Structure 1
């Protein structure tokens, strides 16, 4: 099992009464990762659960008493990570909003963030953009007024170390005036929400609902179709993205997904394999024998969901036929 899957099993066993305090200790991203693993876990045999819990308790018992402190954390990290990475982590932890503040900014749409920042001082914008992911900073700059964006780039080039008091003030301002307000007021597009739900349908159920919508609300049906990310959309992956996906997906899921795929999709995946690997995959597909459509749909849905997860983590880029039309999940 992966780490999130092991954590999901432990939290399920603990239940709400004993696990509540653990849930409170997780940040938003950790909760999202664990809940996704929990939702996709399926049935875990009692023997596996028992072994996992024994291992978990045994690892805690073997460690004895543990005391955490900032100094001890730094000492431990310096033995594992590069010194510059440790310094950056500690700088963020010491801030009032901590690491989560900059993660939250990284999850906010670039156009929305740029619209807020355009009224700030160029120096403030420069500090903020220097603290978020480079790709996200690039998208924010692209959405700022041209003259302002050029000024911000110049400030970033001349940016020196920022005093802790200044950084604290910026973080507090962002948290109180922007992030918290955005969290309270932002309403998700219902078509986007329904597209996510439709992605979880098997093919027959999806067609049934879309056909009904075509008859009653054709405009909404088209918007949902445009927002859905399906197995067939994988053909838009670039070679690097496809290789990343194939390294992450388990062989059985890929075999079942390709078993019911079109010739175009099969050739797309086979083209990313060596001749020998493609031949083995074809033999495995034949060895499966007849599959129910539901099994194929489930495998293809898992592949599409894995792709979206990789895109969320920034490991691949998704687009639908247009290099500038990036899909953000």
Structure 2
């Protein structure tokens, strides 16, 4: 295949998966720019792309041209992108995620190779994971739910029976640490070999904050029902979980600088839909942190926007909450009040 054919968008000789295309694109950008892109991706997406980068060997010029056809002139001379370069991957992930978050992911990508054990579940559909743990002991279910990312855990819990769901969340809230032997035993139960080098040190897992994080990603109807059930069993625990949860209405408690930073990361389309279902205090907080002209345009868009489904409003609000949480974890804003520890 000629360079011209590749630049015109014709496929190279081998089929390049979408994940591999993303990996080639990032490798062509350079560490700093690639890190900026990764900041806008979820942890599971970062891991998938990172694994693809680590496993790639020789990338031909035709393949680069196919993935970056409109930028072929800029990357035409870069035949050796250094794909698979460990130092590049370490620097890029550290810049994107910070040292603490990047450390375990780097070990998983560069040391562990293919994901196995509990980490395998992160790549599976929530319903499939639910089927795997459905008949396990509730404590095993709680460990799995605590280990996975909150958004995935919320979807898995939604597939379980409401009584089981309540039991699991209560156990998640009471979890603190787990010995590596227990993780190894769990991997044996799942018929997978644990990777990532279980150390002799107990791992922090679960807790009330983790339970609150998971519930933040649940559908509002499930979240409300589950919280009511927890109140019946343990009112104090329910209150603590509520205090730690960060919902859209809590944006009114974020300081002005935080709101301004958040607004720079949120599209106006998503903001309009989210505000359709918010109270006046949140709207006032948003409007007061925009220029007069921008606030007027947003108000006009809100008035012109017709009826919106509740599910669409909730989805838009969760998108904004996710951005707020990511920025808070990166130290860019302080959520304050609910959703993080008070100083």
- TM-score, structure 2 normalization: 0.47
Higher-helix-fraction structure: 1
Larger radius of gyration: 1
- TM-score, structure 1 normalization: 0.49
